[in-house]
Amino acid sequence: MKKPVIDAQNVDLTFQTNDGPVHALKDVNLQINKGDFVSFIGPSGCGKTTFLRCIAGLETPTGGSLTVNGLTPEEARKSRSYGYVFQAAGLYPWRTIAGNIKLPLEIMDFPKAEMDKRVEKVLDLVDLKGFGRKYPWQLSGGMQQRASIARALAFDAEILLMDEPFGALDEIVRDKLNEELLKLWAATDKTIGFVTHSIPEAVYLSTKIVVMSPRPGRITDVIESPLPKERPLDIRDTPEFIEIAHRVRDGLRAGHDV
């Protein structure tokens, strides 16, 4: 068996707050292989975002072990393994769209000509060709979020972590971006971790669905999707799709009853 890219063994995380300790993650065990598209789904407070942040080395677990390609998340972060897409676009308003996409490239010391080439390429990939000279506040929310995805793709990180990237967008834009994201994933073979609230979104996108529940945040079910890699939008009306969606819903409900 090949070694997993991300390997979590009994990961535990307790935050010390003014109201006493909060058990954000308890006994999380999960293996993610190269090229997996893994969704984390669950109600607010189930630790899905926290776990994603742990993988990215933005939070440090208080127990258990978590490795990324055999490195600690901190080391993996410093070796620039992650492209991270946040809930909001988080573009720097003083930079143009192209300038924002260049930001990680500047920090990682890419040569000038290479930068311009990459900016063109990812702008094309997220369908924003010709918008490079605009400022973020001149674009719609959906376009801003696409730009932030382009920024995460620009330096070709091996792992793409996305924290409810489409949460604030309307259904139609969301469908379109989901479809584009799948195409992108198929084209690049990246490993993707994706946090979402939406059952259809999770089922549509993932090869592996991780169902989580709160207090303490833990994994209640891991579902390997039998859906093919090629997924047109209308796959959502097939019995297989609906069956997986049911299982996810049951998992979410079971977590609530505890």
Partner 1 sequence: MRPDTTFEKIVWPVGFGLLVLVLWEVIVRVFGVSPAILPPPSAIAAAMAGSLPILWEDWVQTVVKGALNGLWMGTLAALILALIIDRFDFLKRGLMPVANFFAALPIVGLAPIMVMWFGFDWHSKAAVVAIMVFFPMLVNILGGLAAVDPMHRDLMRTYGATHIQTLHKLRGPAALPFLFNGLKIATSLALIGAIVAEYFGSPIRGMGFRITTEMGRLATDMVWAEIVVSAVTGTALYGLVAGIEKRVTFWHPSQRG
Question: CB 235 → partner 1: shortest distance, Å?
Answer: 32
Determine the Cα–Cα distance for residues 209 and 207; give it in Å rounded to an integer.
7
CB–CB of 59/13 below 8 Å?
Answer: yes
Residues 98-117 that bind partner 1 (CB under 8 A): 103-104, 106-108
Q: Please state whether the peptide bond connecting residue 216 to the residue before it is cis, i.e. omega within 30 degrees of 0.
A: yes
Residue 86 interacts with partner 1 (CB under 8 A): yes or no: yes
Determine the Cα–Cα distance for residues 38 and 91; give it in Å rounded to an integer.
25
Question: CA 48 → CA 130, 136, 238, distances in Å?
Answer: 36, 28, 28
Residue 82 interacts with partner 1 (CB under 8 A): yes or no: yes
Residue 168 interacts with partner 1 (CB under 8 A): yes or no: no
Determine the Cα–Cα distance for residues 126 and 67; give it in Å rounded to an integer.
30
Position among 17, 18, 94, 237 found at the interface with partner 1 (CB under 8 A): 94
Residue 140 interacts with partner 1 (CB under 8 A): yes or no: no
- Close Cβ partners of 132 (under 8 Å, ≥ 6 residues apart): 96, 97, 98, 101, 119, 120, 123
Position among 23, 80, 134, 247 found at the interface with partner 1 (CB under 8 A): 80
Question: CB 122 → partner 1: shortest distance, Å?
Answer: 15
CB–CB of 39/32 below 8 Å?
Answer: no
**What's the token pair of residue 82?**
């992650």
Position among 4, 42, 47, 83 found at the interface with partner 1 (CB under 8 A): 83
Burial of 75 per CB tally in 10 Å (0-12, 13-18, 19+): middle
Residue 134 interacts with partner 1 (CB under 8 A): yes or no: no
- Dihedral of CA atoms 130, 175, 172, 249 in degrees, nearest 10, equals -150
Residue 215 interacts with partner 1 (CB under 8 A): yes or no: no
Number of residues that bind partner 1 (CB under 8 A): 25
Question: CB 210 → partner 1: shortest distance, Å?
Answer: 21
Question: CB 228 → partner 1: shortest distance, Å?
Answer: 32
Span from 6-14, 91-99, 193-201, 241-249 in contact with partner 1 (CB under 8 A): 91-99
Residue 56 interacts with partner 1 (CB under 8 A): yes or no: yes
Question: CB 40 → partner 1: shortest distance, Å?
Answer: 17
Please report, as ranges, the residues that interact with partner 1 according to CB under 8 A. 56-58, 77-80, 82-84, 86-88, 90, 92-94, 103-104, 106-108, 135, 137, 155
